[in-house]
Amino acid sequence: MLADAWPWLIPIFWGADIGTVVFLAVLPRLVREWWQTSYFTKRITLVGSRDIESATLTLHSGGHYHLQKSWSRPAASTGIVGLGETGKYVEIENGFELTAHHGLRRVLRLSKQEAYESTYLVEEDTWPQDDGYSSLGGWMLSTYDAKPEGIQ
């Protein structure tokens, strides 16, 4: 009788495992955080570069943003090669105000707008803990929207 019941007990023991229970408890938060900055919610992509640094900033519906910054270092050199940052943004007159989850505040001010490209100047608060790696102060970030078909 016990041998017949054993195959049905495996899913119960597997489901009651502490790792599975914790994973299932955390899963909604992981999905929500992924969705907030996913490809499907992206509104605007801004890109910029300076020396060996480059940055990609994506603004998403729902007021969330994701900043990805990278460094192109020679093979023999050492140092940081990339970092990411998430936070919230609000649209303001002539730009956007970004606030990182760790508190750093940036303002993107529209400096130039053409038919298919907008350029923003980045202004940011001074941050006492800043090591310079996360700074975008003075950067120009541009977006390029694909031209509609048939337009040269």
Residue 59 maps to which CATH number? 2.40.128.300
Whether residue 149 is contained in a domain is answered as no
Residue 151 lies in a domain: no
What is the number of alpha carbons within 13 Å of residue 140 lying toward its C-beta? 8
Buried b (16+ CB within 10 A) or exposed e, 115-150: eeebbbbbbbeebeeeeeebbbeebebebeeeeeee
Range of the domain at 132: 39-144
What is this structure's pTM?
A: 0.77
- Residue 89: inside a domain: yes
137 and 108, same domain (yes or no): yes
Residues 48 and 15 both lie in one domain:
no
Q: Which tokens belong to 71?
A: 């460094």
Together in a domain, 115 and 61: yes
Radius of gyration from C-alpha coordinates of the chain:
22
- For residues 133 and 27, the model is more confident at 27
- The predicted structure's pLDDT at residue 71: 92
Both tokens of 121, joined, read: 């100047």
Q: Which residues does residue 66 pair with via DSSP β-bridges, in sequence order? A: 58, 86
- 100 and 31 share one domain: no
Residue 150 lies in a domain: no
The residue with greater pLDDT, 54 or 1, is: 54
CA distances from 54 to 36, 57, 135 (A): 23, 10, 12
Rounded to a whole number of angstroms, the distance between the first and last alpha carbons of the chain is 78
Average confidence (pLDDT) over 19-36: 88
What 3-state DSSP class applies to 17? coil
pLDDT at 92: 93
pLDDT for the residue numbered 67: 94
117 with 43, same domain? yes
**What domain count does the chain have?**
2
Query: Which residue has better confidence, 127 or 136?
Result: 136
Is residue 12 located within the same domain as residue 75? no
Domain shared by 30 and 8, yes or no: yes
Distances 134 to 105, 112, 143 between C-alpha atoms, Å = 12, 24, 20
Within a domain: residue 128? Answer: yes
Residue 110: predicted pLDDT = 92
* Lowest-pLDDT choice from 1-5, 65-69, 99-103: 1-5
27 and 45 both lie in a single domain: no
Contact, 90 vs 97, CB < 8 A? yes
The predicted structure's pLDDT at residue 16: 74
Say whether both 31 and 46 belong to one domain.
no
